[in-house]
Amino acid sequence: MNFLEKLSGRCGRSRASTVFAVVAFLLVLSSSACANAQQESSKAEDTKTGNSKQVSQAEKALKTRQYTEMMRSVFSFVEQNYVDEVDPTVLYEGAMKGIMDALGDPYTVYLDSSQMRSMNDTTVGNFGGVGLSISKASVSTPEKPAYVEVVSPIENTPGWKAGIQAGDLILAIDGTNTADITMDEVLARLRGEVGKPVKVHMKRGKNMEYDATLIRAIIEVPTVKYEMIGNDIGYLRIIEFTPQTPERVQEALDSFAKSGYKSLIIDLRNNPGGLITSVVSVADKFIDSGTIVSTKSRLQSENMSFTAKKATTTAPRNMPIVVLINKGSASASEILSGALKDDHLAYLVGENTYGKGSVQQVIPLNLNNDGIKLTTARYYTPSDSNIDKVGIPPDREVLFPVLSEEEEKTYLKIFQSDEISKYVEAHPNMTQADIAAYAKTLKKTYNLEERVLRKLISNEVYRTKIQPLYDLDYDIQLVAAIDILRKESFVSLMRKTKTISELQEEAKKKAEKESKTEKKN
């Protein structure tokens, strides 16, 4: 006799009786739990010593135990009595997601095996793979199979050494057609044990197809790119903060020093964050004393203050620094920009940052190679400000022009057409002058700013090449940063900057004033 039969008393009962029995069972569970709660609460009341906090903790512990027992009972009941066979993994993952989602925190989440693997890539900073940055369309059709496209090979990796180029298609991996599998499955096949081979079938252009056997190696997650702009400005782009970031930043600073740089641009746009220990080490290269960031929590162990040390500061103290930020700059990138701003070391240019002022821990569960990411503290800038859901405003706002409704339709039309791709394919090795000339031709048909048209053409030209690190034609925020460093008095600008705490206080007073005005009206 199964579990439901035990509840209903006999197999032949009617559906109504069965439903009644199930409801009765759940009510009995609930009533029993309530009765136990009352009994234990009474005991707690009888032994009460006057310490209300102890009683509160006892009640909380009681509820926790009751909820845990109820979840276990419901899990077992659903698994045994659902109309179809149930995979316990599905129930487990659903329950874990539910627990995390109940907190209403977008950064506290359950991580399945693929998400956990991706998270480990960032926290560890490397993995066994072939060194190809790839993309894959989400929808595959017979007319347009969703093969894997190489965005770019990472220098000095197996893919790069094999001559694989940006724009090449991976048609198959160890004989498996890539159009028929998901991106997670693609990654699972390309990554693996270091020293082990993986065979890929490649396509370049219309007709060239070839096989390549790649021996997996340790691949470092790309974290820093750098280059001189002219002979005076070092341009440092930090993609995200991994364990390798501080070392790569130091390599950049050493390279700039050899080139005789006079000022620095740190580009944190679209940097989603990363490890707090990593960003603290990077900040310490610019800040020689005081607090870099502090964390606060109800847990005493999570209350920490990270301070700068003069011995680890490597950048010149009086070096003019501009930091580029936008709405994609979050978490650790906000820690760096906030610390440099509060310490009056850098001038911020661009857009208001994302506003993620919390710290998470990744905890592996070691059951299905899964885990959880849990918010354990909030972080505060040196001026003791938390920027969660608020972000950090730039000292100078520079926004990319917003397309009108008509321009959006035009942009979408040309973006979805193959006009530019066909032209570029017919005109290989286009120069900047060629791109500008073609943009003027397109302008006659498409009413868009020539700067936007040039960017669309450049994207297609460099789809099969390594893109330049920066684009002074299109990137107006970068151009603004360069102009500040070359044409304005940096010292005068920094005298006028305010700490994040001062800015938040001003915003608070302004909001209060506006609220009073609205009430009067």
Active site residues: 331, 342, 356
Write 211-215 long-range contacts (CB < 8 A, 24+).
212/162, 212/163, 212/164, 214/130, 214/158, 214/159, 214/162, 215/158
Query: Six-digit token pair at 197?
Result: 């081979």
Q: What is the rounded distance in angstroms from the CA atom of residue 268 to the CA atom of residue 333?
A: 6
Q: What is the DSSP string of 343-385?
A: TT-EEEEES------EEEEEEE--SSS-EEEEEEEEEE-TTS-
Q: 68 CB contacts (<8 Å, ≥6 apart)? A: none
Residue with tokens 């050494």: 161
The Cα 321–Cα 310 span in angstroms is 18
Please give the angle made by the CA atoms of 284, 302 and 279, to the nearest 5 degrees: 25
Tell me how far apart the 2 most distant CA atoms of the chain are, in Å: 90
Q: Which residues contact 222 (CB under 8 A, 6 or more apart)?
A: 133, 154, 239
What is the DSSP code string of 159-195? HHHTT--TT-EEEEETTEEGGGS-HHHHHHHH--STT
Tokens of 431: 């120069």
Q: Are 191 and 152 a contacting pair, CB within 8 Å?
A: no
Nearest to 157 by CA among 215, 228, 239: 215
Which position has the token pair 């607090």? 291
Q: Give the integer Cα–Cα distance in Å for 178 and 24.
A: 52
Decide: residue 378, CB within 10 A, 0-12 exposed, 13-18 middle, 19+ buried: middle
Pair of tokens at residue 237: 């782009």
> Are 452 and 400 spatial neighbours (Cβ–Cβ below 8 Å)?
no
DSSP β-bridge partners for residue 324:
267, 349
